Amino acid sequence: MKLRNLTLSTKFTLAIGLILFTFCAIFSLLLYLHLKNMVIEDAEKKTLIVMTKTSAIGSYVREVLRPRMYEILHDTSYKEDFVIEAMSTTYVRLNVMSRVNETLPDYTYRRVSVNPINPSNKADPLHEEKISYFQQNRSREFWNGIVKIEGQEFLMRVKPVIAETECLKCHGDLSEAPTGLIKRYGLKSGFGWRDGDVVGVDSVAIPLAAAMGEIKDIAISTFIFGFTALLFLFISLHGAFWSLVSKPLSSLKVIFDRIAKGAHPLSQDVPVVSKDEIGELTESFNQMTRHLFNAQENLKKNAETLRSTVEGISDPLALVNPDCTLEITNHAYRKWVSKRINAVFTSKCYPENCDADTMYPVCFLEKLKREKRAVSEYWEGNDGRYYYMHLYPIFDDYGNVTKAVHYVKDITDKKQMEEQMRMSEKLAAVGQLSAGIAHEINNPLGGIRLCFNNLMTTDMDMETRKMHIDVINSGLSKIQDIIKQLLDFSKKSSLSVSPVSINSLIDNVLKLTEYLITEKEIKIVKNLSQELPEIMVDPNKMEQVFLNIMLNAIQVIDGKPGSLTIETSSDDGYCKASFADTGSGIPDEVLPYIFDPFFTTKPVREGTGLGLSVSKSIVEQHNGEILVETSKAGTRFTVKLPLTKWKN
């Protein structure tokens, strides 16, 4: 079971238990280490005392007893020249310590050498190691530490034995050694010492096993006693914690669970039985439930308001799943579904039916899921009506489209009104062009009339007659072209896109306005890019846009010499056509309204106020935009149209 899944009471129990166990263990360990240090310090003091006493005995024998014995032996002519029991410092020390060991058997004293006279004083490997240590560290006066001897630990103090002049009487030159000493131990070893050499060590060892066992028992007993005492304390704390904390929290948890299951009303407070932190928590809990209750009531009201709002929307609105199933719909959407209008989702998705020429709602949904952005399209249904369709994506935490808001609007009436507005503006433009058209027609008519009069009243040869007839035919053809161009421009037509050169559209419009431009002496500056590709537009409607802009430019230049600069270019996926006049510019207070329907600054009967509004609508229908820049030096209108293939 994971720790985070445990109850608060269990976590508290485990935490306190672990703390108490750790505390007891650390305390016992520290106590053990403290007692161990005390035992070692005590043992070091005892070894120092023993070593000091044996050194004192040796000094007494060497400095007092031995010289006196030499005097006595010399005066009495004793036959022995060396009495080992009174003159050997090693012998005396070892015998004194053997008597001490009868009372204190734990002390072990040894005086050994690598080259002793007495073979029993031969150094073992441990003492040989210490002799070697002092030979390499002549400045060291002693060594003490813990060593293992036959599997047991001993605290040992070791002191070097350094050969002095007094020692060389027995251990120096063999020829000078006492005969009594040679007679007792022979000539095998113990001779040839030199003054100042480290020839052996004195050592005192005390066993630590008993003392260490005692302090271990003390540490374990302390741990058990302390842990038992703390365990009782822990049980008391746990009981108090359960009574004061766990039990009230458990009660709150039960109420939480009942609230989650809907069995406990949010408006009902939990009784506050204390004024401590648990009581404050309970009061905070009551405040939270009251806030939740109020939020729940507000949410219900808002949900009802939202439902009423959505239901009251006259246009179809729905929440659609990625498989085209409907999750939420309003009344208008359900009505369209019942009528099986194909602008709404009425069945499951069949994206394989989507192609460039036949688009259904499922195709727009697939586009939304693929591009992960809102989709807005104008769409003509199979019923001949026009719709504006909008799909807005809803994403999950990973950026995947989980649902879509579908909004549909029937814009057939709006389309018809826009078409009427376009026709009105076309007729207004035709009115403005009438003078130029009359001039264009009167010129060939005058020539035709003159030729007819000559044919009727004058005798002429066949060649002259043929020439007059050719002039009449040429004039009639010119009149026919002008009338046809005017009819093509003014007739009502649905949006019909085809690949066309934007430069050719501008040239056609310049032909229609040629008379007005010439009459008002306006200079035309053309900078048309010859590298522009053909774009997909409705030629008739786009000519109307260019004509409206050019007529406005001709009007603002009225009464003064001026110029109209027309430029075309391509940039960033768009084809651009700009028209810059040298008029007086658009006032700041007028600029925000120039694209509003029926807004005009022209005198009465000289404008409908629909020109720029209709032009903006046509350009946006082609997924483009109109930009305007103005100053006192003139105004520039720029039409941007996408270079990519446009879809109706």
Instruction: Say if residue 525 is in the same domain as residue 584.
Output: yes
Percent of the chain at pLDDT exceeding 90: 3
Instruction: Say if residue 365 is in the same domain as residue 433.
Output: no
At residue 442, φ and ψ (nearest 5 deg) are: -65, -35
Report the pLDDT value the prediction gives residue 489, as an integer from 0 to 100: 52
- Is residue 261 in some structural domain? no
Q: Decide: 548 and 612 in contact? Cβ < 8 Å.
A: yes
Instruction: Say if residue 179 is in the same domain as residue 325.
Output: no
Q: Which residue has the higher pLDDT, 581 or 311?
A: 581
Last residue in a domain, options 410, 438, 468: 410
- Is residue 74 helix, strand or coil? helix
Instruction: Say if residue 435 is in the same domain as residue 332.
Output: no
Round to whole Å and give the CA distance between 330 and 149. 98
pLDDT digits (tens, 9 = 90+) for 601-632: 565 444 445 567 777 878 888 888 999 998 88
Instruction: Say if residue 458 is in the same domain as residue 405.
Output: no
Report the pLDDT value the prediction gives residue 576, as an integer from 0 to 100: 92
Last residue in a domain, options 365, 392, 410: 410
Mean pLDDT for the stretch of residues 390-397: 87
Question: Above 90 in pLDDT, residue 555?
Answer: no
Question: Above 50 in pLDDT, residue 647?
Answer: no
Residue entry with tokens 């672990």:
18
pLDDT digits (tens, 9 = 90+) for 244-283: 776 777 777 777 777 766 666 766 676 766 666 667 777 7
Mean pLDDT for the stretch of residues 393-399: 86
Kindly indicate the confidence band of residue 88, based on its pLDDT and cuts at 50, 70 and 90: confident
- Is residue 276 in some structural domain? yes
Residue entry with tokens 């004793």:
78
Question: Above 50 in pLDDT, residue 47?
Answer: yes
- Is residue 234 in some structural domain? no
Most confident of 84-93, 246-255, 310-319, 392-401: 392-401
Instruction: Say if residue 122 is in the same domain as residue 50.
Output: yes
Instruction: Find the helix or strand (DSSP H, E) in which 628 lies.
Output: strand 625-631
Round to whole Å and give the CA distance between 365 and 348. 12
- Is residue 221 in some structural domain? no
For 572, left (φ over 0), alpha (ψ -120 to 50), or beta?
left
In what side-by-side order are the strands of the sheet with 198-207?
108-113, 198-207, 152-162, 143-149
Tell me which residue of 365, 322, 324, 319 sits closest to 348, measured CA to CA.
Answer: 324
Instruction: Say if residue 431 is in the same domain as residue 321.
Output: no
Instruction: Say if residue 434 is in the same domain as residue 395.
Output: no
Kindly indicate the confidence band of residue 95, based on its pLDDT and cuts at 50, 70 and 90: confident
Question: Above 80 in pLDDT, residue 79?
Answer: no
- Is residue 311 in some structural domain? no
Rounded to the nearest integer, the mean pLDDT of the chain is 77
In the numeric block, which tokens belong to residue 332?
Answer: 């208008």
Instruction: Say if residue 187 is in the same domain as residue 334.
Output: no
Instruction: Say if residue 421 is in the same domain as residue 406.
Output: no
> How many separate domains does the chain show?
4
Question: Above 60 in pLDDT, residue 573?
Answer: yes
Identify the domain containing residue 69 by its residue range. Answer: 35-213
Kindly indicate the confidence band of residue 636, based on its pLDDT and cuts at 50, 70 and 90: very high
pLDDT digits (tens, 9 = 90+) for 374-389: 888 777 776 767 788 8
59-86 per-residue burial string, b: 16 or more CB within 10 A, e: under 16: eebbeebbeebbeebeeeeeeeebbbee
Instruction: Say if residue 384 is in the same domain as residue 437.
Output: no
Question: Above 60 in pLDDT, residue 299?
Answer: yes
Round to whole Å and give the CA distance between 391 and 408. 9
Report the pLDDT value the prediction gives residue 605, as an integer from 0 to 100: 44
Tell me which residue of 627, 357, 643 sits closest to 500, measured CA to CA.
Answer: 643
Instruction: Say if residue 384 is in the same domain as residue 448.
Output: no
Mean pLDDT for the stretch of residues 164-192: 77
The CATH number given to whatever domain includes residue 357 is 3.30.450.20
- Is residue 204 in some structural domain? yes
Neighbours of 133 (CB within 10 A): 15
Round to whole Å and give the CA distance between 230 and 222. 12
Last residue in a domain, options 364, 383, 410: 410
